[in-house]
Amino acid sequence: MILKDSRGVAAILVAMMITGLVGIAGFATDVGYIFYTRFKLQNTADATVLAAIRDIENRDTLGDNVITQNALDPAELKEKRIELGQWDPESETFTPTDTPASDRTAVRVYLQKEIPAFFGRIFGKETYHPSGQAVAAYVVKGAVVSLGATLLEVDTEKAALLNGLLGNLLGTSINLFVDGWRGIATASIDLIRFLDLAKIKLGIGTTEALLDNGEVSLLDIIDLTLQALKTEDTTARINLELLRSQILFADIDPINLKIKLGELIQIETNHDAFVKAEANVLDVIRVAAEVFNSKSAVSAAVPVNLPPLLQLDLRAKVVEPPVIKIMQVGESIHSAATRLYVNAKALDIDLGVLRTDVHVPLYLELGAGDATLDRINPDSVEMTGSSSTAKLFLGEIGPDLFFSTETHDQDDFTPATLVDVELLGIPVKAVAKSFVDAEGGSSSLTFDTPLPKTHSINATAGTSVTGLTSTLGNNLDVSLQVGPHGGLLDTLLNPLLNLLLSGLLNTVTNAVIAPVLEPILNFVSTGLGVYPGRTDISVLNFAYGYSIVQ
């Protein structure tokens, strides 16, 4: 009897254990399926919110695409919400708002799916509802900075001034009333969206390729600006269209000119680092007009009386427009009112016993300005700025450096072989490099909100071309080599060579540099209101990146 009772108890225990194991297996199946679905929904919510905040206007379409790419059917979701709002970093809370989409700084995505229960049905639980949620918000990652050699005063109460200013830059008559200019001056566009629209228009896939190769006309820029405007900026839209029509019906060259977008807007870092970088519409149109003006401006005829044995290679970039750049901390920006490259060469002589090759390459910047972004605070931007009346370099320079918007100094130039002579089979070479900077002011600048704000730095006035070249000669660093080994001949010929170089510099200064610069300086200062020696630095707005914050 005892054995029979034990076997009965064992059977009951086995049955209970099997039931428990089945229950545990069923519970594990339910829990595993819930966690798998929740993990998938969370990953999809993260990807969706990042896509949505990159292009808020098309967030729903982008959201459905991302959901589909993650092997989920949007129609099968029990709930899908893509909400716009504001993110408070202090309280770490998201608040949905009804303000225009372009003014909202965060996106919240909530996804929920209904899945069947397995073990839960034993207890009357038919379905589960796992979910995923993510919030992405704009975070300050940089600043939109404009740097130029002159400040063009903008007073929207003086329509005649703005009409004349823009008209002079474009070579036509512009007629907008006070309210029109005020509407344009108070409107903003997102430069990132502007560039994305340009990529679509030109069929260019990457921002880097767009800035390097994308070319547009002035009317294209106005059209892109109209597309990038906020929908509620009706006053700006009406007056930009009026401005466009006045330019369209004017017979002026800038309509047909094309510029690279990289000359108007610059981004050094990865485009993905920024999602929003607003700038004032008037600033963008004005800088675009100055870019076109600099393209169409032709330097006055320059009389150059050269000695018989000299020939001249001259490059000039007259009236460089301000530079607009989306910058991160540590990056720099550079501009100059006028850039001039002169390479004075002595005619080559090859008489068998005597062979000569003598040239002096000079690079001159007038009204040079530099700025570095030092720090970004919640309510201000800190920069270091400097200006220079003129910078004069003696050395080799390539096209990339000549047109560069990066800060550069003498370390960026390579020494030039000024003299390469061979007499009776003995080679004589003189390699030299020199630099002089008529430095102006240099100071730390703080741009407090609300932006935009502008600071001006004045350079020292009164620097003469003769004074610059004289200092350049004093700073000359010559490396002399006579024959294959040098030695005594170096010492003997060094005074003669220095005399030769000094005479060549004086010839270039008196016969080339001064006559070339005088009409350029007069044209720049009196004709266009550009005064070399003053650098104007403006912080137009913060530049925003994005990240998942919750």
Token output for 185: 């001056």
Quick one: pLDDT at residue 198? 92
The residues near 472 (Cβ < 8 Å, ≥ 6 apart) are 392, 394, 434, 435, 436, 505
Which candidate, 444, 379, 445, 416, places its Cα nearest to that of 504?
Answer: 416
Closest among 287, 293, 281 to 322, alpha carbons compared: 287
Structure tokens at 257: 């000119």
What is the spatial distance between Cα 195 and Cα 130, in angstroms, rounded to a whole number? Answer: 39
In the Cβ-directed half-sphere of 117, how many Cα atoms lie within 13 Å?
13
pLDDT for 337-378, tens place per residue? Answer: 777 777 777 656 666 666 777 777 878 777 778 899 999 998
Q: Are 257 and 295 in contact (CB under 8 A)?
A: yes
The CA-to-CA distance between both ends of the chain, in Å, stands at 67
Question: CB of 270 within 8 A of CB of 176?
Answer: no
Mapped onto helix, strand or coil, the DSSP state of residue 415 is coil
Tell me the C-alpha distance between 49 and 235, whole Å. Answer: 32
Where on the phi/psi map is residue 483: left (φ > 0), alpha (ψ -120 to 50), or beta? left
Q: What is the per-residue pLDDT for 253?
A: 59
Do 262 and 195 meet the contact criterion of CB atoms below 8 Å apart? Answer: no
Judge whether 346 and 339 are in contact, CB under 8 Å: no
Residue showing tokens 């401006």? 297
Q: How far is CA 50 from CA 82, 90, 228, 248, in A?
A: 11, 21, 21, 40
**Residue 410 pLDDT:** 74
Using only the alpha carbons of the chain, give its radius of gyration: 34
H helix or E strand, kind and range, residue 212: helix 207-213
Instruction: State the pLDDT at residue 299.
Output: 41
pLDDT at residue number 40: 87
- CB of 275 closer than 8 Å to CB of 545: yes
Q: Could you give the CA distance from residue 340 to residue 367 in angstroms, rounded to a whole number?
A: 12
CB 85 within 8 A of CB 96: yes
Low-confidence ranges of the chain (pLDDT < 70): 1-28, 99-103, 120, 123-124, 149-161, 165, 251-256, 269-272, 293-321, 346-354, 399-400, 402-408, 423-424, 439-440, 459-470, 473-474, 476-533
pLDDT of residue 143: 92
pLDDT at 223: 92
pLDDT score recorded for residue 350? 67
Residue 228 gets which letter from DSSP? Answer: H
CA angle (367 as vertex; 362, 369 as ends), nearest 5: 105
